[in-house]
Structure 1
């Protein structure tokens, strides 16, 4: 049904496949089961980002693997959501502690660090890219580790 809106021109890379205004990643396996993702672009510029990471979280010894899901809804441009997509998981991984009760606090720290770095980037690029000061994103994340699901939503990215 969706494909009837445009002519298919499928291009695939390591992040997924693009078919007109549809971005998708076919069914794949991860530590906690199968997954697939799809995004339908609503306008000429895709402002949204999504990611699924199933990697080693080496500081958690009892369950060395976890699954991290992030969905960023960009506003006014793609810069904020792309920045979050490129940085949040790495920042989170650097904070992960062995105490699973603190996972949500670790995620909060990662959000704060990601936001601080994005605002710093906006300040540095103000003279050449002033439009970055008017973009933003909200971000919904989920983390499964040691059988615990943590969900967080951050709406403060400018």
Structure 2
């Protein structure tokens, strides 16, 4: 029991509370944290780009889940581009998991640190929910790579 209490106390020290004031796409939102806006990328997942099928739906799903709600940023870190990356709970709902469960995002295998997410994605694929209802959904990282090579 003492170990559980200690673990919870440690977990709480690595979290910060905020209010969601904007949603850019299906895996990026803006929170008001200590009176300042902070753009946050949802850890472990990658949502369709705006120009991809389900891009707008993914953004809308994240908006419905988080916009205007209290958010907790767990394990917030900076990525190599200086962006804040975190697991985001909106009113106690894990937004990262919800986006994958509802077929609004892929598990970003290259950067995933949540062992439960691949199984959640597999269930969404099997149920053909969200982007998994498409015949051949394209991973956003491949979409970006193709777009970059076309523009080069």
What is the TM-score of this pair, normalised by structure 2?
Answer: 0.27
Q: For the pair shown, which has the larger CA radius of gyration, 1 or 2?
A: 1
Which structure has greater helix proportion?
2
Which structure shows the higher strand fraction?
1
TM-score (ref. length: structure 1): 0.27
